[in-house]
């Protein structure tokens, strides 16, 4: 399941409300941060993610304790395929505010992307503890378990994803197979017309510790 690009923009936070709720930083720093943040969001809308990342860095120089800005920085780095840096940004956000869903979700996504599936389990399970119906977390957790060769658990998670959203499979199912090359594949096999995730097969494979999924 390719990561829905709209998820990136949906997950982005709007800082002025966050600053007001947190009552920090001081007013003179807020006055500098808010226009920078607005410019960063505008850069995202233009898909100028490099500029957005630079603007988020400027904000974090002014106040490095804004978890929401670390989150947004991670999202734009993810879009730029700078996945190790994105991971570090999400980890910083999660350490500042463990209850934020987005950095925990993307920690899991990035750990799987970077072939560290064991580390993906804790943040993804944290997301599902708070949002049991989070489809991206369910899928990525299944994928992490597939990479760890916990195939029965992975298939069960895929079935749970189908149960929660039958349109994913349209009456299909999940299967597991091993190619002669040693690639392990778990598949969702949709039979309906709905192609919500952009393809007729949702697959995860294992080949020399690397992931076949696209982010």
Residue 55 lies in a domain: yes
Q: Is the pLDDT of residue 176 over 80?
A: no
pLDDT of residue 171: 44
Of residues 2 and 100, more confidence is placed in 100
Residue 192 maps to a domain: no
β 174-178/184-188 pair status: antiparallel
Which of 92 and 178 is assigned the larger pLDDT? 92
Sign (positive or negative) of CA dihedral 98, 103, 109, 111? negative
Instruction: Look at the chain and report how many structural domains it folds into.
Output: 1
Give residue 174's pLDDT band: very low, low, confident or very high (50, 70, 90).
very low
Query: What is the CATH number for 70?
Result: 1.25.40.10
Domain that holds residue 2: 1-97
Stated pTM of the model: 0.72
Q: Supply the DSSP symbol for 207.
A: E
- Using one digit for the tens of pLDDT, what is the confidence trace for 25-82? 788 898 999 999 999 999 999 999 999 999 999 999 999 999 999 999 999 999 999 9
Q: What is the pLDDT of residues 127-169, one digit of tens each?
A: 999 999 899 999 999 999 999 999 999 999 999 888 887 776 5
Whether residue 134 is preceded by a cis peptide bond, meaning omega within 30 degrees of 0, is no
> What proportion of the chain, given as a percentage, has pLDDT over 90?
59
For 74, 156, 166, the CA distances from 189, given in Å and listed in that order, are 32, 14, 12
| Residue of 211 and 118 predicted with greater confidence | 118
- Identify whether 50 is part of a domain: yes
What's the count of helices (H) and strands (E) in the chain, helices before strands?
10, 4
Confidence at residue 18, expressed as pLDDT on a 0 to 100 scale: 52
Q: Can you name the residues that pair with 184 across neighbouring β-strands? A: 178, 206
Q: What is the mean pLDDT of residues 112-121?
A: 97
68 lies in some domain: yes
Query: Tokens at residue 9, please?
Result: 């923009």
Q: What pLDDT is recorded for position 118?
A: 97
């Amino acid at each position: 399941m390719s990561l829905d690009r709209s998820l990136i923009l949906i997950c982005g936070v709007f800082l002025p409300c966050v600053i007001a709720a947190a009552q920090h930083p001081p007013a003179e720093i807020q006055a500098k941060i808010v226009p920078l943040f607005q410019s960063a969001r505008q850069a995202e809308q233009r898909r100028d993610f490099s500029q957005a990342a630079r603007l988020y860095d400027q904000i974090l120089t002014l106040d490095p304790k804004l978890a929401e800005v670390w989150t947004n920085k991670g999202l734009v780095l993810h879009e730029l395929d700078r996945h190790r840096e994105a991971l570090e940004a999400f980890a910083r956000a999660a350490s500042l505010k463990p209850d934020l869903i987005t950095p925990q979700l993307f920690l899991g996504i990035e750990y799987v992307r970077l072939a560290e599936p064991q580390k993906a389990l804790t943040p993804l399970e944290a997301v599902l503890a708070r949002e049991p119906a989070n489809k991206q977390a369910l899928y990525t957790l299944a994928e992490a378990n597939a990479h760890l060769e916990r195939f029965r658990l992975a298939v069960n998670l895929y079935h749970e994803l189908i149960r929660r959203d039958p349109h994913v499979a349209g009456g299909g199912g999940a299967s597991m197979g091993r190619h002669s090359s040693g690639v392990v594949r778990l598949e969702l096999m949709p039979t309906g017309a709905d192609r919500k995730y952009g393809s007729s097969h949702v697959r995860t494979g294992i080949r020399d510790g690397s992931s076949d999924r696209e982010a």
